Structure 1
Amino acid sequence: MRNWSGTYEYRASSVEAPTSVAEVQQLVARSPRIRALGTRHSFNDVADTEGVLVTTTEIPADFAIDEERRVLTVGAGTRYAAVATHLTEQGWALHNMGSLPHISVAGAISTGTHGSGDLNGNLSTAVRGLQLVGPDGELRWVRHGDPDFAGSVVALGLLGVVVRVELAIEPTYLIRQDVYRGLAWSTLLSNVPAVTGAGYSVSIFTDWVTDPIQQVWVKRRLASADEPVADELSGAVRDGSNSALIVEGVGDNTTQLGVAGAWSATLPHFRIDSTPSNGDEIQTEYFIDRADAPAALAAVRELGADIAPHLLVTELRTMAADDLWISPATGRESLAIHFTFKNDQAAVEALCPRIEAALEPFAPRPHWGKVNTMPKAVVASRYPRFADFRALVERTDPDRKFVGPATAALLDAAVTA
């Protein structure tokens, strides 16, 4: 079995797809080595094991809304597209969505995957509870307010197989999406917050060499459908057509006609009701402190001529700080610098060290599920509470049933750092 993009082949001895929580419990109890696998949207070996891979995507969603607590409980392997559709039908919403709504809930939150917005936490910050199958096959809940909760949400599957998730919800709302063209690089670097703060969720798409920047997608949360928006953003002009594509030839993006719609139809970049791009790509991503954005972006631009020939697109997005121990946004307001490269492994592996060197003065944190070449000890050192996280893993799973080769290297490197 390979990942979504076909760039990584899993080395597990088997891949199991149980259809009930009880089956997961039995599988975990009898397996000496086992790890959870989501919808295979990781681009590295973080989820892999030499033992058994288990996916919960075949277990029914079994939606349950608690209106008093404003919490949705759902099967961990459920895709965000299904969650968003159900919530919208019931008059509820999530605070944020990733660009691709076809990823599983547990996979996204376990790796700190994100949506966008200066004031929006990543997807993991919506978690209010996790039901896990522990190494003995027994079920347990970890909920917001519990001592280990902040270390259990973004946990890379190291604390057990997540089977149910509680997510914070809120009343449904409207989002309008507009595309602006003509943003000068100099204007962006002189005032990054003026651009990233222009809407509820903002994405900047660039190839690092074209000036002005190709596109800025602004998603605004509206009180009413007829609320006016500006035709200009920091010198960029609003495009009144619906012709903007993230990647040329991929036409399943959400509408940009400036028409207010349900949050679920406009917060993602790719439509819920269609198949996204075929995944013939390699992704890397680095999180930095938003205060360092101008200098960090300028440093990467110095490599633009070398990056552009191998690039499909770069997306720049922001997120609020959180307190989750190994979330890429823990403790700092963050900018995510995301590279979607052409499927050329050698080229990407050659570029990553150069990009990482350019970003090193800004203490980058790589996305847990994407390609990078940073030493494991350096990665662990970027998280002030990584020692606490490692202790939690050792206490919860002393025999390392849920630890794979990549996560073992991370945990062991943290000891010698």
Structure 2
Amino acid sequence: MTAPKRKKARANGEGTIYQRKDGRWEAAGYVLAANGTRRRVRVYGSTRREAADKLAERIADSNRGFPVATADSTVGEYLTYWLGSVAVHRLRENTHTRYSACVRLHLIPGLGTKKIARLTTKDVRTFLDRLRTTCQCCTQSLDTERKQCCAIGECCQKRLSPSTVTYLHSVLKSALEHAVREDELPRNVARNVKAATPRPRRFRPLTAGEARQFLAAARADRLHALYELALRTGLRKGELLGLHWEDLDLNGGAASIRRSLQRTRTGGLTHLPTKTRASERRIALPAECLRSLREHKDRQEEESETAGPVWSDSGLVFTTPTGRPLDPANLTRRFRSFLDRAGLRRIRFHDLRHSTATLLLEQGVDLVVIKELLGHAHIGVTAGVYAHVRLQLQRQAIDTLGHALGQDDDPDDPRIAAVVR
């Protein structure tokens, strides 16, 4: 009698694979976890080969020294793994830095010890509610060393803003969404928590009169061309500082927006891609900007001659007097000083961009044109930020409708037809 053939045993470290009662295939093996220990990980697939391939990929990453998240990981361990192995390759450096701060200051202290596989919607909702109602000085012992405020029993009630809580919620959702894609979680419990939409930041863009005063005062400033370009085109601060002369077509009256100058923690002043793909665009330049840019170019050539050997030929449009890139933080300080000297109220530099859009809206420019000029990815972004129709626009709309409804004249009157159209 011939003995039945025995199945070939899997090699040590290859894990196990079997078919579940629900028809799916499950593979399990040991990998390097986020906390440095070795833990058992389970992956699933619709076929045996799919499950085996997923497990092999996890084990290969582990053998190369890359930590792999497991269902037994705590939320803190998983967030650490996600930041260091996943998000770091997908986010801009400054965004990754903000995410890291959110994880370190709030997510790990609030949810870090919970098992990621046992995290519930109620846990997330309770955590977010606690953030909204708890004084952060008390929670993080911010006043302990200073021995003031909360440390002496006088709570300052320093709570997180609604927009910050919403941002923390979005970071948690992003991390858990990756866990779902890696088959570590069946669902993203953070998505089941409906966070209240925070009210948009209130801003007071320049009125037409203030904008004229701003432009008049800017003529005497060394960065006249930058301020005028910011107000007349709505370019972002980083886009302005990242402009090279080769990006400008002064004869054709156009500019190509290709990059942004940002300060990063590791690279210092760095040229980065534009904020979104839609932000990489070509825009028309007003005649006033062309004139001021030509004057600025002449001034820059004079500064180059004055600086002599210390001049740094960066090719940038807006530089220091020695040709080096302008630091965004320094521009912010210069802008505040300029507003004070000009007798204008304090606004953020980014509010020049808001002013551009608002003034264009008041002149009846179509929202699609404004979207293209500002480089928004979707028109919904433009509508959401700038459809705060000001009182003047509301009055114009009401008067137009009232004129149409209150006319007793001949309906074929061309004046009425023009209003209706």
TM-score, scaled relative to structure 2: 0.23
Q: What is the TM-score with the length of structure 1 in the denominator?
A: 0.23
Higher strand share: 1
Greater per-residue helix proportion: 2
